[in-house]
Amino acid sequence: MGIDPAALAGGRHTAEVRAVQQQYRQLPATAPVRLAKPTSNLFRFGRPEHGAGLDVSGFTGVLDVDTGSGRAQVGGMATYETVVDTLLRHGRMPWVVPQLKTITLGGAVAGLGIESTSFRNGLPHESVREMEILSGDGSVVVATEDNEHAELFRGFPNSYGTLGYTLRLEIETEPVRPFVRLRHVRFSSAEECAAAIAEISARGEFEGATADFLDGTVFGPDELYLTVGTMVDEAPTTSDYVGRRIYYRSIQELEVDHLRIRDYLWRWDTDWFWCSRALGVQHPMVRPLWPRRYRRSDVYRRVVAWDRRFGLTDRLASWRGQPRQEPVVQDVEVPVDRVAEFLDFFHREIGISPVWLCPVRLRDPAGWPLYPMDPETLYVNVGFWSSAPLRAGQEFGHYNRLIEQRVSELDGHKSLYSTSYYDEDEFWRLYNKPVQDALKQRYDPDRRLPGLYEKCVQQG
């Protein structure tokens, strides 16, 4: 873009970089390092939060938008809500917009992300052209795909803060139209649905209309829907799913729908997909009393975090004589030709519904070593966020371990934002220990930051 980072935000960005470096240097060598962020989308509630956090509030904005090149300079701690609102004013959006408003760009790069453009645009980090990173040794480096920090550029995705933190990212964006026309197409089997995912992804269109967006919702073994979204300039009417209507229920009720582009991008956030029902927010007597401004995923997550911390739900279930519930909150990727096998297993052994489907194919053939997907393979992300009752004799972790085993058998991968149960050998077989070790040696030789297994399994 030809922009001098020192000039961004009138020079304030450089001052913020120096300030956070100074904070980092002042932390005792044995002190745990964490970010002082008001929100999180991780579901690893067992991690201790003691110790002073790094003040990263100076990295939460959009620093520059160049509509000519289509690139933007964005703070690593900027939420997608902030980035989307800024870019939409320029008629643009990120290549991939993860479905929850308070996911940060830096979080989506270090911890992955996905959404309904992923079948054509891959994962969020594939839009990144430059990363400015506060590394584990306290230095700040700028990594690109072809400079002296290219290995860090490749190895940073899926590192989850074990190598450092992004302070600034240069990302590609794409133009948008004002509205999205949705087609909800029903299938009676997972095999039929998977075949349609493969065909639409390959052709980039459905029944003569461009497929700008593609995802799916599974309500049962014989009730699956694909939603194909097409950006359009006009809409006869638009739906409002921040009000009393629930988006995921509309998928079963409507064949065609229209949303404003912003409302489409956040269609899942209002009800945290379908998880707000556990808090009563979808009940017709409760929803009008729950203020619209609080119908957000980050609000619900804070409620869940409080409940996990104090075990209120578990205590109530025990008092009622009900079995203990195991949280099953995961996203996994399996090859499209194995997704029917996975869903058959999932319905039989886990029994949670609805389930989200989101096709993804890596855009960059070079791949990303800490999350080694085959660039030639179309995968389907399967997302499920609920709990399952433990039967007599079943240990806590029973369902999650079953899922991890089945995903590995199907040549798939599991995101690490939630609790993991892998033993260390299996974990490193899946997530590339040699690359992690080499990057730790270069960018965090004193091990100020935890390793990937420690961060994602042992601390979870």
Name the nearest CA neighbour of 111 among 35, 48, 19, 203: 35
User: 316 pLDDT band (50/70/90 cuts)?
Assistant: low
First to last CA, the chain: 40
311 pLDDT more than 80: no
In b/e form, how buried is each residue of 313-341, taking b as 16+ CB within 10 angstroms?
beeeeeeeeeeeebbbbbbbbbbbbbbbb
Task: Tell whether 408 is covered by a domain.
Answer: no
Task: Tell whether 289 is covered by a domain.
Answer: no
For the ranges 202-216, 277-291, 317-331, the maximum mean pLDDT occurs at: 202-216
In this predicted structure, what is the pLDDT of residue 50?
52
44 pLDDT more than 60: no
User: 460 pLDDT band (50/70/90 cuts)?
Assistant: low
The enclosing domain of 117 has a CATH number of 3.30.465.10
Q: Vertex 205, ends 258 and 97: CA angle to 5°?
A: 60
Task: Tell whether 74 is covered by a domain.
Answer: yes
In this predicted structure, what is the pLDDT of residue 2?
53
User: 51 pLDDT band (50/70/90 cuts)?
Assistant: low
Q: Give strand ranges (E) for 223-360.
A: 223-232, 256-260, 325-335, 355-360
Query: What mean pLDDT comes out for the span 153-166?
Result: 96
Task: Tell whether 203 is covered by a domain.
Answer: no
In this predicted structure, what is the pLDDT of residue 166?
97
Task: Tell whether 73 is covered by a domain.
Answer: yes
1 pLDDT more than 50: no
Model pLDDT for residues 345-401, shown as the tens digit of each residue: 999 999 999 999 999 999 999 999 999 999 999 999 999 999 999 988 899 999 999
In this predicted structure, what is the pLDDT of residue 33?
85
Name the least confident of 37-46, 247-256, 376-385, 404-413: 37-46
Query: What mean pLDDT comes out for the span 227-247?
Result: 97
Number of structural domains in the chain? 1
Query: What mean pLDDT comes out for the span 413-440?
Result: 95
Rounded to two decimals, the pTM is: 0.93
Amino acid symbol at 352: I
Task: Tell whether 145 is covered by a domain.
Answer: yes
Q: Which domain holds residue 56?
A: 5-176+441-458
Model pLDDT for residues 92-142, shown as the tens digit of each residue: 999 999 999 999 999 999 999 999 999 999 999 999 999 999 999 999 999
Collapsing DSSP to helix, strand or coil, 151 comes out as helix
User: 277 pLDDT band (50/70/90 cuts)?
Assistant: very high
In this predicted structure, what is the pLDDT of residue 318?
67
Task: Tell whether 195 is covered by a domain.
Answer: no
Task: Tell whether 347 is covered by a domain.
Answer: no
